[in-house]
Structure 1
Amino acid sequence: MSKFEKTINILETFSGIGAQHKAIKKINKKEKIFKIVATADWDARANISYSAIHNDLENKREKILEKNSLIKSKDIDEFLSKYTFSLNSKVPSKIINKDLEFKKYLAASVLLSNNQVDINKLDPKILAEEKIDLITYSFPCQGLSVANMGRAKGINNKESTSSLIWQIYRILSNAQRKPKYLIMENVKNLLSKKFKPEYKKWLLVLQKLGYKTFTTTINGIDTGSIQKRERVFALSVKKEIYTPFYNDETFRKYIDDISKKKKLTNKKMKKYFENVFNFDLNNKENIEALINDTPSRQKMIKNQKIINQSTNFIINTVTTKQDRIPCVGIIEHPNSVKNKLNYRFITPREAYKLMGFSDKDFDNILPLYQKGILTKESLYRQAGNSILVDAIENIFQAVYDIEKIGEKNE
């Protein structure tokens, strides 16, 4: 039972597989304060994974469909046609062409997560209707990513997917009830010389909307993870709310102090490493991740970190695709499988666990992968696009602290 008079209701936009949801579960263990009341993401398979992990999709699917009179195929088609979904997170897809089983899982996931789907169509009225106190917005990074080799177009160019950040402005500026907090996450390149002027413009917009914003960079390796993953995090707070930090520098120190308590010793990093990776040569998931014996793959493995030769247990950034350079690394896996090299990529399970999810979380989505509802490609993409749970937990901890201070002052 929460000691807080009021729960912090969260709208999780660009929700993906719910790293934010996973992080608040950790905070809520000591005192229930945060609650996800709505989400928004147009990636169909990410929606399904999200509901499987957080909303018991497999067991609740039929019941929620029946409750909403979605029994017949035509009724499910009509329901899904109200939304714009994507199967690759890049362009709209014709979900109507998918098989009925897939559409049932998708419809149920939308209902269970109160998913608004397309951020472009999200109605600002939801902030008042759901009494939203906090919005998370980990908007697409492609327009900022170094991986785009100079082709990144930033957050102001409408051709850039990163310009979806301005949908948050649309929602906030048209809302009768503005949330107390906003939490942003994106790639470190947002603060580069090229894109920092655009980010400063965004900060001015937030200021005019009534928010003070604090920005810092967090590396996953400093937060209890074994993954080197540097990301920018920003916490916006309504101006009238007291905060125990007053600028970016004091915010950085505040977050660093939280991180220090979580940073792993070498012994604990080894234990984490051994928990993530399964080097069993006969494990089915490992065999499915074997690398094809082709000239391009032969060339690729020469330049990659061999994970099971690691002595410091530090892992490179998890990416959305494993068969490209750079990737998180490869694993030696002697085998006699025809046309396969003696190496494998990390498995989708290992990718998920490196992002802060558990075996239980992955086991919840595994039946959907086995049924073909989820694909290996989509699972890698979901992990690579996710926020590191250990890192964003620090920002939620700061919000928790602010709430506690406010409650004490009251």
Structure 2
Amino acid sequence: MLNVVETFSGIGAQVEALKNIDVDYKIGATVEWDIGAMYAYDIMHNGKQFLEDYRLNSKDALLSELSKFNLSGNGKDPLTYESLRHLPSVLLKAIHTSIERSNNKVDVSTVAARDMPDNIDVLTYSFPCQDLSIAGTWHHNQGGIDREANNRSSLLWQVERLLKDYRDTGKMLPGFLLMENVSQILSKKHIQNFKVWQDFLESLGYVNQVITLNARNFGVPQNRERTYMVSVLQEGGLEKKIIEDYFREYDLTNFRTNKNPNLSDFLRLNYANLVYRDEALLNSPNYTISREKIMKGNTILAIDDKVVGSVVGALTTKQDRHPNSGIVIYKNRNPTENARYRNITPREAFLLMGFKEESFDSLVENNIRVAKNRLFITNAKLHRFAGNSIVVPVLEQIFKQINELNEIKVKKGSYNLNLIV
């Protein structure tokens, strides 16, 4: 049994991966302040909410409870009390239900060791990448993960604060830590700060394994390279040499799936399906001069219903931009007069991140109408959730290794890897 805590949990790529492999697990807690992401996580992994049975019914009672949390409406900025007050009661109920059902501690900057479950096997932390990525440089976000930068990526040091709290209060440290972020964390600009982070973990007794993996080698036709670090606490039968020998022998940088992904399995080009057609229309921008640049400068994935590409570019939080992850050209089957192409739809983006289509459907079916013409989880939010997430099949292989190493503790140092397929 792996007892897992997901910080920066987003829509739950980690728990999605754990569901897909033959491993017993329990999600003891999550930490996420984005109200849209926490609602999506709850619906996708805990099922439909039944708000008619909810214990808090008055808006004042809901506001009193939710105002205790540091919540965000966009994943960047905190929600003010006034902003909360303008949300409909049904949405306030859904947000509070999401917090309760996922044991969400909400704010990574205030969560303490005492708030966490005991005997955590794995703590995951996919902290924001915006101030590390190349796109961050375009937006003049220069601080990276410098602890004084006071930006989103510097939230990494809140994980340091939390682990220090574990150490100082005598609470048992998590047996494994799992980090995911953009590969720019290894660049000349950021490597020294990353080395400081690694040195801190080593001072606590962890052995760090840093690997950079591309999703296209794990059964997903997406050219998405990310850096992962598995930190293994030396305890039980896990000594430094055993850990290092294990990762040397079972190096995931050499992993290649025996499944040959076909982009046609991920794109939804059958517009006789009215759901797919409506989603295509929603992601078909009017053809302007700036869109002409997008059309001419990005990879063509399909023409009408015929796939002509093999792999999409790395998904980002927006697709109506240049560069983007790829486009579908309209020639003979244009669903709208004002468009010449469409972008990847949120459904396709979720599939290209390794989520199942039924999970996406459950989220769409349980979306909340907050105004006559507005849903809580908008098309733009769905793109953001996917772009901020982690490719599930990559996590599957990493969790298989973590589970195997966890079993080594019980076996006192002997191992025989039998989970990687």
Per the normalisation by structure 1, the TM-score is: 0.89
CA distance in structure 2 between the aligned counterparts of 1:346 and 1:289, rounded to whole angstroms:
7
| Cα shift at 1:383 | 0.1
Specify the alignment match of 1:188 in structure 2. 183
| Cα shift at 1:247 | 7.7
SS in 1 for 2:340: strand
SS in 2 for 1:174: helix
| Cα shift at 1:130 | 4.0
SS in 2 for 1:12: strand
| Cα shift at 1:59 | 3.8
| Cα shift at 1:98 | 1.3
Is structure 2 residue 396 aligned with structure 1 residue 393? Answer: yes
CA distance in structure 1 between the aligned counterparts of 2:29 and 2:66, rounded to whole angstroms:
17
| Cα shift at 1:301 | 1.1
Is the 8 Å Cα contact of residues 221 and 310 (structure 2) preserved in structure 1? yes
Is structure 2 residue 287 aligned with structure 1 residue 289? Answer: no
CA distance in structure 1 between the aligned counterparts of 2:92 and 2:123, rounded to whole angstroms:
28
Is structure 2 residue 298 aligned with structure 1 residue 304? Answer: yes
**Which one of the candidate residues 65, 75, 85 is aligned to 2:61?**
75
Specify the alignment match of 1:361 in structure 2. 359
CA distance in structure 2 between the aligned counterparts of 1:205 and 1:76, rounded to whole angstroms:
41
Alignment of 1:109-258 (within 5 A): 109-127=98-116, 129-149=117-137, 151=140, 152-156=142-146, 157-175=148-166, 176-240=171-235, 241-242=237-238, 251=247, 254-256=250-252
| Cα shift at 1:280 | 2.4
1:271-324 CA distance string (max 9 Å, x none): xx2221111235221122111222211222110111115545212111100011
CA distance in structure 1 between the aligned counterparts of 2:52 and 2:242, rounded to whole angstroms:
50
Greater share of residues in helix? 1
**Which one of the candidate residues 374, 381, 385 is aligned to 1:382?**
385
| Cα shift at 1:263 | 4.5
Q: 1:249 to 1:165 in 2, by over 3 A?
A: farther
Would you say how many aligned residue pairs link Structure 1 and Structure 2? Answer: 388
Is structure 2 residue 270 aligned with structure 1 residue 280? Answer: yes
Q: 1:390 to 1:244 in 2, by over 3 A?
A: farther
Is the 8 Å Cα contact of residues 211 and 227 (structure 2) preserved in structure 1? yes
Moved more, 140-149 or 282-291: 282-291
Instruction: State the one-letter code of the partner of 2:136.
Output: N
Instruction: State the one-letter code of the partner of 2:266.
Output: V
SS in 1 for 2:399: helix
1:211-248 CA distance string (max 9 Å, x none): 11111101001112111110000011112352797687
Specify the alignment match of 2:92 in structure 1. 103
Q: Once the two structures are aligned, what percentage of the paired residues are identical?
A: 35
SS in 2 for 1:387: coil
Instruction: State the one-letter code of the partner of 2:189.
Output: K
Q: 1:335 to 1:296 in 2, by over 3 A?
A: same
Is the 8 Å Cα contact of residues 222 and 263 (structure 1) preserved in structure 2? no
**Which one of the candidate residues 341, 344, 347 is aligned to 1:346?**
344
| Cα shift at 1:25 | 0.7
* Structure 2, unpaired ranges of 5+: 370-374, 414-421
1:57-104 CA distance string (max 9 Å, x none): x244444x32xxx12211111111111111111111232321112212
CA distance in structure 1 between the aligned counterparts of 2:319 and 2:5, rounded to whole angstroms:
31
Q: 1:185 to 1:386 in 2, by over 3 A?
A: same
1:318-359 CA distance string (max 9 Å, x none): 110001122111112342635x21211111111111001011
**Which one of the candidate residues 2, 9, 15 is aligned to 1:15?**
9
Instruction: State the one-letter code of the partner of 1:26.
Output: N
CA distance in structure 2 between the aligned counterparts of 1:292 and 1:248, rounded to whole angstroms:
54
| Cα shift at 1:115 | 0.6
| Cα shift at 1:11 | 1.0
| Cα shift at 1:258 | 7.7
Instruction: State the one-letter code of the partner of 1:84.
Output: N
CA distance in structure 1 between the aligned counterparts of 2:293 and 2:312, rounded to whole angstroms:
21
**Which one of the candidate residues 27, 45, 56 is aligned to 1:54?**
45
Specify the alignment match of 1:3 in structure 2. none
| Cα shift at 1:370 | 6.7
CA distance in structure 1 between the aligned counterparts of 2:245 and 2:50, rounded to whole angstroms:
46
CA distance in structure 2 between the aligned counterparts of 1:336 and 1:314, rounded to whole angstroms:
24
Is the 8 Å Cα contact of residues 225 and 264 (structure 1) preserved in structure 2? no
Specify the alignment match of 1:4 in structure 2. none
Specify the alignment match of 1:335 in structure 2. 334
| Cα shift at 1:386 | 0.1
Q: 1:74 to 1:203 in 2, by over 3 A?
A: same
Instruction: State the one-letter code of the partner of 2:100.
Output: L
Moved more, 12-21 or 304-313: 304-313
Is the 8 Å Cα contact of residues 33 and 106 (structure 2) preserved in structure 1? yes
